Amino acid sequence: MSAAADGRPPVRRVAALPSSLLASAGCALLVVALVAFDARFQHWFVVPVAVCGALAACDALDWLRGRFDIFDPVGLIGLFGVYFFFAAPLLHVAWDRWISSAYWLALVPPPADWRPWLGWMAWLNALGLLCYRAARAPFLGQRGPRRRWRVWRLAPRRFGPILLIAVALTTLAQVLVFLAFGGFGGFISAFEEQSRDGFAGLGWAFAIAESAPILLLMGVAAELGSRARKPSWTTVILVLLAFFCLRLIFGGLRGSRSNTVWALFWGVGILHLWVRPIPKRLIVAGLAFLLTFMYFYGFYKAVGRDALRAFEGAEVRAELVEDTGRSFEALVLADLGRSDIQAFILYRLSERDAGMRLARGRTYLGALALLVPRSAWPDRPPTKQKEGTELFYGPGSYVPGRWSASKVYGLAGEAMLNFGPLAVPLAFIIFGLLVGFLHRHLRELGRRDARLLIAPFLVNLCIIVLISDSDNILFSLIKNGAVPALILLVGCDRVRYRRATRGG
């Protein structure tokens, strides 16, 4: 019965406020509060930072409102962007935490006041975000009905046997890697004693061996997704825990947190897209778990098995933090953010007497050259390490194989190292095209399209593009994606469909 029929006044529906308005108001109110209560924020840098926050928060709010799928790249970039472009610069000032002082020499002093450089970098990022939104805009509109399309279907007679063989071979490869170091304990000891140098030349072996957990999860998801009844949440959580433990063994023990964190992102995405949708509250709980894991695992990366002492109590953890520098603030600002290092690049490039030379695209060429073994190309061009080293230690300080900086500069940072500040908007245009293209094609995939099994990896790659450099991106693309993509290529049938037309 209607409200008018039973005498009640009709209910007037109020249109939801636009996300852009809510985002702008929220960022502005927070900045005004900081300016009112903390003198350190009484500086013009908060204006462009707030603009960046508003631009990113629009997509984040649309994600929270359900206008994007949980694993849509546009929504996730917006959600992460609120932290990356807005919260991180403010936290740097609030905590007074900057790039480690171990990098500074008398010849390369840091800026006396970081806030102007955070502000100028924020203006560049704001322009970049506007370009990003413009570049992806054509992909966000609704497309008309397609006349032809293709669907990837798991081939029952091929996918299962091929997957079993691949899991067996990749597991065998991991066992052989352990045996090469004298067993499980020897592998950990090699990491503790030599860190990354002990694993030099094993990149291809790791690419094969560390694919086993995600291949196994693909098989489990295919089986669970084929059942008429959805699995219980207990089953889903147990599958994720098993996958997490396997990933620690297959890759995590050599000190790479990203190996485990990004793999978990992929795993959750597979279960969400293929098995059953995962609610946002579980996603939030998962993020809290990942931050906790990254904090404690940072101690393992620094001191190996002695990291277990971190569970003995707060005093022991405080000692480990003091000895290693692996604080929660360092995790949040250095591992998940690039605000200070990008501001420092801008600062150094602005110094007329700094002697900084732009790479002119060589860091990207150097990343591609990593595909060729050094034995075949001894003089292959250096990666971002050359410019990164000279950024901190001055021109001529880079000595291949002996002295180099290993920082990560992010999308905007590497663009500036190559072509200067004006390259930042162009980098964001390319980024927007990538995100928009992926958004459209993922939206058009059917529920049982096998490409959904690799879709979360591609979404994750978008985040990596924003925060990492070209060599890291290429490494992740090949090491983590090559083997699963090959299995899907071989184990799927590509079925073409055509929409019937009148008279046809």
- Condensed to tens digits (0 to 9), the pLDDT of residues 183-197 reads 888 888 887 776 555
The answer to whether residue 423 sits within a structural domain is no
Q: What is the DSSP string of 55-91?
A: HHHHHHHHHHTTSS-TT-HHHHHHHHHIIIIIIHHHH
Give residue 500's pLDDT band: very low, low, confident or very high (50, 70, 90). Answer: low
203, two tokens: 């990149």
Integer Cα distance of 373 and 484 in angstroms: 23
**pLDDT at residue number 281:** 87
The distance from CA 15 to its chain's CA centroid, rounded to whole angstroms, is 35
Specify the range with the lowest mean pLDDT, choosing from 92-101, 137-146, 288-297, 309-318. 137-146
Q: What percentage of the chain carries pLDDT values higher than 70?
A: 90
Listed as own residue / partner, the contacts of 272-277 with beta carbons closer than 8 Å and 24 or more positions apart are: 272/70, 272/71, 272/456, 273/71, 273/452, 273/453, 273/455, 273/456, 274/221, 274/222, 274/224, 274/225, 274/452, 274/453, 275/221, 275/224, 275/225, 275/230, 275/231, 275/236, 276/230, 276/231, 276/236, 277/70
- Mean pLDDT for the stretch of residues 331-347: 92
- Mean pLDDT for the stretch of residues 45-72: 96
- Mean pLDDT for the stretch of residues 325-330: 87
**pLDDT at residue number 447:** 82
Query: Measured between alpha carbons, how far is residue 143 from residues 70, 73, 413, 498 in Å?
Result: 21, 18, 35, 16
Specify the range with the lowest mean pLDDT, choosing from 6-15, 21-30, 358-367. 6-15
The answer to whether residue 38 sits within a structural domain is no
pTM value is 0.90
Evaluate if residue 13 carries a pLDDT over 70.
no
Q: Domain range spanning residue 480? A: 153-336+444-498
The answer to whether residue 146 sits within a structural domain is no
Q: What mean pLDDT, rounded, does the chain reach?
A: 88
The answer to whether residue 435 sits within a structural domain is no
3-state helix, strand, coil in the chain (%, to 5): 70, 5, 30
Give residue 456's pLDDT band: very low, low, confident or very high (50, 70, 90). Answer: very high
Containing H/E element for 151?
strand 148-154
Evaluate if residue 501 carries a pLDDT over 80.
no
Q: Give the number of domains in the chain.
A: 1
The answer to whether residue 289 sits within a structural domain is yes
What b-and-e string marks burial along 363-402, b requiring 16 or more CB atoms within 10 Å of the CB?
A: bbbbbebbeeeeeeeeebbbbbbbbbbbbbbbeebbeeee
The answer to whether residue 464 sits within a structural domain is yes
The answer to whether residue 102 sits within a structural domain is no
Q: Are strands 148-154 and 492-498 parallel, antiparallel or unpaired?
A: antiparallel
Residues 6+ apart with CB under 8 A from 250: 174, 209, 210, 212, 213
**pLDDT at residue number 5:** 45
**pLDDT at residue number 201:** 64
Higher per-residue pLDDT: 207 or 31? 31
Asked if residues 478 and 211 have their Cβ atoms less than 8 Å apart, the reply is no
- Mean pLDDT for the stretch of residues 136-154: 81
The answer to whether residue 51 sits within a structural domain is no
